[in-house]
Amino acid sequence: MFKPRDLAQDDYGAPLGAAIALVPPMGAAASPAKPRSRLLQRIKARHAAARTALDSSDWAVDLAEDIGSADWFRGLATMVALGALAVSMAPSDVLLPTAPATAIDAVARDEFRSQMIQPIALGSDSGRRMGAGPAVVPLTSAPQRTAVQVTATLGQGDSFARMLERAGVGAGDAAQVERMIAGVVSPATIAPGTRVDITLGQPADGESLRPLAKLAFRARFDLDLSVERGSSGLALSQHPIRIDTTPLRIRGTVGAGIYRSARAAGAPIEAIQQYLQVIDQHLSLDTEVAPGDTFDIIVAYRRSASGETQVGELLYAGLERGGRPQAQLLRWGGDGQFFEASGMGAQRTGLIMPVVGRITSSFGARRHPILGYTRMHAGIDFGAGYGSPIYAVGDAMVDFSGWHGGHGNYVRLNHGGGYGTGYAHMSRIAVSSGSRVRAGQVIGYVGSTGLSTGPHLHYELYKNGRPVNPLSVRFTVSQQVDAAELAAFKKKLADLKQVAPGAATASLAPRQAVIASASGREIDRLGD
C-alpha cells in the first residue's frame, strides 16, 4: 500500500493514487463514469509527473563544476539556447524611411534667426527689424555730444603720447601735450599706473576726431598738471600741492615680541622689518631684548594736503631699557649703513668669505693640475659658478687691477697693518687701481682666466708681503663715520630725536587766528 506522504497530489490537493484506485481492473464491470472525466484524470496525472520531473532537474548549472557530466551539458545547452534566443530578438540595422526635411529659404531662415538668443561675443545678432514707416523722417546729420570724458592709465614702458592717442586724442594734440609736460617734468619719471582724466570736445564739421579740450593728472607727489584749450590753443597749468616731510616717529613698549608690539603701535610693516634687521646687527633679538623695553622707530614720511601719504626708509632705530639707551642707530651715507651715536658701525669678526662657494683646494704644496709638478699653492680655491660676485673681505686700497700672468684677471687689495689679499682668475674686474673699496663691495666676478681648469676663485692672503694661510687669520670688519662728517652726523641724530611721536599725523589745514574776546557784555560795550 502507498503511504500518504508517498502519494502524488493533483492541483486540488487530492492524492492521485486514490483516483487510480477507482479505476476497476480489467474484466471488471465498467464504471458508470463518463469517458470525458477519465481523460481529464489522465491529463492531470501526466501534468503532475512532468512537473515533478522538471522540478527535480537543475537547468541553471555552475559550469565551473562537474565539467563533462550530464548536468554540465544540460547547463551548457541552457546557456546556448538563451544566447541564441537573445540574438534572434536583437533589433535589426535596417534604416527606417522618414519624411524629408522641409526646405528653408532665405526669408524663413531670417525669421528663425530673429527668434534666436545669441551671446554678445557673437554679435547678439537677433531680434526682428522693422521697416521704416511713413512717420519716420530721415536725419541729414546725427547730433553729437558736446564733450566726452574718458580716463586713461599710463602703462609700464608706455609713452604719454601713445596713451593719449589710444584714448582718442589726435596725434598732433598728443605730441604737443607731451612736449609741454616735458618742460616741467620728465615723462619717464611719471609713475606707471597714473590716471589721466581727459575731456574731448565736439568735432568740427566733416571731422570724426574730437579735439582735446582738457586733461589733468598727478605728475608728482607734490604737483598736479592740467592742460586746457583756450582761445589761443592748449595751455599748461601747474598746481603745486603742499607737502609735509615731518618724519614719522613711533615709540612703544615691547610686549611678547617687538613685531606685534610695533604693529599695535601703528608702525608700517616695511619699517618694522627694517628695524628688526638693523637691531639684529648690533644686538641679539633673542637675549638682549626683553619685555618692558622701549622701541623707538623713525621713518621718512611724506603727506600731501590732499590726503595721500608715502612711507619711506628707516631713518633711526632705537631701544631703551629703564630710560637708558641700549641702541641708537642712525642711517648715514649713500649706501644706507647704520651707525651708533658715537659714529661706529657694526663689527664683524671671523673668516669672511670672499665668494659664495666651497673650498676645493687648500693652502700648501700640491701637484699643479696644468703644469704637472708639485709646487706651493699660496692660497685657497673656492669653487663657484661662472659670474658669481666676488667681495672684498675688508676696507682697503686697490694696489693692482688687471692681467697678472697665470693669475689671469687679478685684483690685489691693501688692508693696512701689513695685510693684503689677492683675487685671481676673474672673468671681469669691477674696480680700478688706486680706488678705495669697502668690506662687502663687489670687486669682480668668478671666471677661469689664466692657468685655470674651470671657473673658481683663487684667494690669497699676505702678511708683510709673504703669503699665509687665509684660514688662519680672522678679520674684524668695522665701519666708522668720517671725522669730517661726524658733526653733521650728530646734529642729524639730535634733530630726529627732537621729533615728537605722532607729529607727522597732525592736520595740515591752516590754523585760524584766535581773536581774543573783550570782557564784558555786548550791550555794555554798545553803551560806551
Nearest partner of 419 among 352, 481, 333, judged by Cα: 352
- pLDDT recorded at residue 11: 47
DSSP 261-323: HHHHTT--HHHHHHHHHHHHTTS-TTTS--TT-EEEEEEEEEEETTS-EEEEEEEEEEEEETT
**pLDDT for residue 345 is more than 70:** no
Secondary structure in 3-state letters for 309-355: EEEEEEEEEEEEECCEEEEEEEEECCCCEEECCCCEEEEEEECCCCC
- pLDDT recorded at residue 30: 46
The model carries a pTM of 0.49
**pLDDT for residue 242 is more than 80:** yes
Task: In whole angstroms, give the CA distance from residue 470 to residue 362.
Answer: 9
More confident: 309 or 478: 309
Residue 164, Cβ neighbours under 10 Å: how many?
A: 24
Share of the chain above pLDDT 90, in %: 10
- pLDDT recorded at residue 14: 46
**pLDDT for residue 5 is more than 80:** no
Question: CA separation (Å) from 200 to 57, 144, 214, 361, 441?
Answer: 100, 12, 7, 73, 54
**pLDDT for residue 279 is more than 60:** yes
As a whole number, mean pLDDT of residues 95-101 equals 74
- Copy the grid coordinates of residue 90: 536583437
- pLDDT recorded at residue 84: 92
DSSP 354-419: SSSSEEEE-SEEEE-TTT-SEEEE-SEEEE--TT-EEE-SSSEEEEEEEE-GGG-EEEEEEEETTE
Condensed to tens digits (0 to 9), the pLDDT of residues 149-202 reads 999 998 888 888 899 999 888 888 899 999 999 888 988 888 889 999 999 988
- pLDDT recorded at residue 4: 43
- Tell me how far the alpha carbon of residue 519 is from its chain's centroid: 68
Structurally, what CATH architecture does the domain formed by 358-473 represent? Distorted Sandwich (2.70)
CB 411 within 8 A of CB 396: no
- pLDDT recorded at residue 489: 82
Q: What is the overall mean pLDDT for the chain?
A: 79
- pLDDT recorded at residue 409: 92
More confident: 459 or 97: 459
- Residue ranges matching CATH 3.10.450.350 in the chain: 146-241, 244-344
The secondary structure element, H or E, covering residue 524 is helix 522-527
**pLDDT for residue 344 is more than 80:** no
- Residue 100 class from Cβ within 10 Å (0-12 exposed, 13-18 middle, 19+ buried)? exposed
Nearest partner of 473 among 354, 345, 344, 346, judged by Cα: 354
Pairing between β-strand 223-230 and β-strand 396-403 as defined by DSSP bridges: unpaired
Share of the chain above pLDDT 70, in %: 80
Condensed to tens digits (0 to 9), the pLDDT of residues 189-239 reads 888 899 999 999 888 766 678 888 999 999 888 889 999 998 888 999 999
- pLDDT recorded at residue 476: 59
Q: Given pLDDT bands bounded at 50, 70 and 90, which one contains residue 514?
A: very low
- pLDDT recorded at residue 509: 60
CB 272 within 8 A of CB 257: no
As a whole number, mean pLDDT of residues 113-128 equals 67
If you ran DSSP here, which 8-state letter would residue 22 be given? T
Beta bridge mates, 361: 381
Q: Given pLDDT bands bounded at 50, 70 and 90, which one contains residue 346?
A: low
- Tell me how far the alpha carbon of residue 208 is from its chain's centroid: 43
- Residue ranges matching CATH 2.70.70.10 in the chain: 358-473
Beta bridge mates, 390: 444
Burial letters 480-498, b for 16+ CB under 10 A, else e: ebeeeeeeebeebbeebbe
- pLDDT recorded at residue 398: 92
If you ran DSSP here, which 8-state letter would residue 4 be given? G
DSSP 473-486: --EEEEEE--GGGH
Task: In whole angstroms, give the CA distance from residue 389 to residue 441.
Answer: 9
Tell me the residue length of the chain: 528
CATH of domain 146-241: 3.10.450.350
- pLDDT recorded at residue 97: 77
- pLDDT recorded at residue 122: 64
If you ran DSSP here, which 8-state letter would residue 63 be given? T
Helices (H) and strands (E) in the chain, counts: 10, 25
More confident: 229 or 365: 229
CATH 3.10.450.350 fits 244-344, yes or no: yes
**pLDDT for residue 402 is more than 80:** yes
How many CA atoms within 13 Å lie on the side-chain side of 211?
A: 13
- pLDDT recorded at residue 385: 87
Structure-derived torsion over alpha carbons of residues 387, 388, 389, 391, reported in degrees to the nearest 10 = -130
